[in-house]
Amino acid sequence: MKEYRIAPLLLAVRLWALRAGPAACVALALLLAGLATWAWLLPQHAALRAELAQPLPAPSTLAQAPPPPTANENLALFHATLGEKRHAEQQVKTLFDLAEKSGLTLNRGEYKFGYDRASGVTTYQIALPVKGAYRNIWQFVLQALAAVPFAALDEVSFRRDTIADPAVDARLRFTLYLKDAS
pLDDT tens column, 9-21: 888 888 888 888 8
Residue 182 — pLDDT band, cuts 50, 70, 90? low
* pLDDT value at residue 170: 93
How far apart (Å, rounded) are the C-alpha atoms in residues 84 and 81?
10
* pLDDT value at residue 99: 92
**How many Å separate Cα 26 from the centre of its chain?**
46
pLDDT, mean of residues 75-88: 86
Residue 118 has pLDDT above 70, yes or no: yes
Q: Does residue 124 contact residue 113 with C-beta atoms inside 8 Å?
A: yes
Task: Write the CB contacts of 155 (distance below 8 Å, at least 6 apart in sequence).
Answer: 171, 172, 173
Lowest mean pLDDT among 23-37, 66-80, 123-137: 66-80
pLDDT, mean of residues 83-95: 90
Cα diameter, the chain: 102
